[in-house]
Amino acid sequence: KAGVTQTPRYLIKTRGQQVTLSCSPISGHRSVSWYQQTPGQGLQFLFEYFSETQRNKGNFPGRFSGRQFSNSRSEMNVSTLELGDSALYLCASSLAGTSGATGELFFGEGSRLTVL
């Protein structure tokens, strides 16, 4: 069974630009969560989608947004990039919310964003 796939793996943007990151969950997983990892703040929850609906949201500004498609694939978008947005963005999928599921998150390798 294929794992969580994130694209692109690496990207470089300049301040003010916007970026879209993509995540394909494990087959059968309907929950997709996004996390930001930085050396200073550690792992911080961005948002979670389940069946195309945002179910949870972290404390990030409105520049950070996401969506989920009917095939459970998800994208996140960051607009008006700032230097502080440089981070590893991790996507995770799970069966969370499905009957009997224990809610483990399975992470992708991440998309490393550098903002210059």
Nearest residue to 60 via CA among 48, 73, 75 = 48
Question: CB-hemisphere CA count at 13 Å for 83?
Answer: 1
* Residue 57: CB minimum distance to other proteins, A: 9
Cα separation of 81 and 1, whole Å? 35
Q: How far is CA 24 from its chain centroid?
A: 10
Does 42 interact with other proteins (rule: CB under 8 A)? yes
Query: Which of 19/105 has CB closer to other proteins?
Result: 105
Does 100 interact with other proteins (rule: CB under 8 A)? no
Does 38 interact with other proteins (rule: CB under 8 A)? no
Specify which residues 31 forms β-bridges with.
50, 94
* Residue 103: CB minimum distance to other proteins, A: 6
Binding site for other proteins (CB under 8 A): 4, 31-33, 42-43, 45, 48, 50, 55-56, 58, 90, 92, 94, 96-97, 102-110
